[in-house]
Amino acid sequence: MARVKPLAELIEGCIGPAFAAQGFASTDILAAWPDIVGERLAKFCRPSKLEWPKRKRRTEDAPDSGTLVVRVEGVFAIELQHLAPVVIQRINAHYGWACVGRIVLQQDRVGRVARRAPEPTVDLGRRGEIAQAVSAIEHDGLRDALDRLGLAVVATSPRR
């Protein structure tokens, strides 16, 4: 029997190359971002790319620190600017090495999860009429699609 894989393993394979193109070694910075900057600030800012300095010929093994570009809503840019040293320290502690040396803010809209609209209500009598009307259709997919369409047509929007 095949082992069930965690979603994180599947996501890393799908979007890992896109993150690597932006300078991130893995996708976990987005997942850990609320823990790093706090829930409140994470709603209004998001890391967008990690820029690494051009390689110099060095004999040291320690890599240079990068610059983290963070998209931030305009009203929270000053707050994040003041918290930048703390955020850098927390990122570096999260990864266990000084991977970020500075933060550059990019004022932009940060996509937030939209609030779900309240579910429309359907009268039970009308629901029965729709179910009866589509019950004779043999094809499951078509029957389900017409049932959803019928519900959308007779649904009433909740009052705000």
- May I ask the CATH architecture of the domain 10-53+64-107? 2-Layer Sandwich (3.30)
- Evaluate if residue 6 carries a pLDDT over 80: no
Q: What stretch(es) of the chain map to CATH 3.30.300?
A: 10-53+64-107
- Residue 130, C-beta contacts closer than 8 angstroms, at least 6 positions apart: 147, 150, 151, 154
81-98: pLDDT as tens digits:
999 999 999 998 888 888
pLDDT classification of 53: cutoffs 50, 70, 90 = confident
Helices 140-154 and 124-134 pack at an angle, to 10 degrees, of: 150
90-137: pLDDT as tens digits:
998 888 888 899 999 999 888 765 556 667 788 888 889 999 999 999
